[in-house]
Amino acid sequence: GAVVSQHPSWVICKSGTSVKIECRSLDFQATTMFWYRQFPKQSLMLMATSNEGSKATYEQGVEKDKFLINHASLTLSTLTVTSAHPEDSSFYICSARQPLSLGELFFGEGSRLTVL
Amino acid sequence: AQTVTQSQPEMSVQEAETVTLSCTYDTSESDYYLFWYKQPPSRQMILVIRQEAYKQQNATENRFSVNFQKAAKSFSLKISDSQLGDAAMYFCAYRTGNQFYFGTGTSLTVIP
């Protein structure tokens, strides 16, 4: 199947700093990528849909200025958590759908963010 | 609104036995896809099996098969000959257009 790579796998930062998470589609071009947040033992919560060359579409309740998404190329989307606080600590997962595929999402490895 | 319901937060199965995970969904769409994803402790989501709604035949992938009941909006996953490596969270997912919806997950324990 298609490969989606996410980096870093885990990151620890101080409160007030910003953290950038990268999501790359390694063997296909993804015009659309999705960013999810997952709390322990819970389902995935869609945060935003990242569109190449245009603004991301955020889900209701997700702060656009807190979670900056940039999809500058067909293989790279980034999520920047700005001025991180302990409540932003979570597992963040990106995914992409391969064009002309049978419709499934391919997921990155996930990024564990811990804000001290 | 589309919703996906997994009514079993936790399930367990003896190694080599068979287990069925339940999933129901609510939709007014006629064209959609259904998926089962596995999330092992490593946390990366892995596709287990997919089903196109227009196909009447139930999908099968080796030890994994589904029971797709379109009228009942039910999409259960059967794991045969369970193995220790099957232990994970399993998420049922529904897709229409570019929208994906996930259930709350079922944690599967495999007992040696």
pLDDT digits (tens, 9 = 90+) for A20-60: 999 999 988 888 899 999 988 888 999 999 988 888 999 99
Q: Which amino acid is at A93?
A: I
Whether B54 shows a pLDDT value over 70: the answer reads yes
Tell me which chain B residues have a C-beta less than 8 angstroms from the C-beta of A105.
Answer: 35, 45, 47, 93, 95, 100
Nearest to B24 by CA among B56, B70, B58, B64: B70
Q: What is the pLDDT of residue A92?
A: 96
Query: Does the beta carbon of B43 lie under 8 angstroms from any beta carbon of chain A?
Result: yes
pLDDT digits (tens, 9 = 90+) for A60-102: 999 999 999 999 888 999 999 999 999 999 999 999 987 766 6
What's the pLDDT score for residue B100? Answer: 87
β-partners of residue A52 are none
Nearest chain B residue to A93, by CA: B44
Show the tokens assigned to A18. 């910003």
Rounded to a whole number of angstroms, the distance from the CA of B54 to the nearest CA of chain A is: 13
Beta carbons of B100 and A93 less than 8 Å apart: no
Find residues 66-85 of chain B whose CB sits inside 8 Å of chain A: none
Distance separating alpha carbons of residues A12 and A62, to the nearest angstrom: 22
Asked if residue A106 lies in contact with residue A95, where contact means CB atoms within 8 angstroms, the answer is: yes
Task: Give the per-residue pLDDT at A102.
Answer: 63
Say if residues A35 and A91 touch (Cβ distance below 8 Å).
no
pLDDT of res. A105: 87
* pLDDT (0 to 100) of residue A30: 87
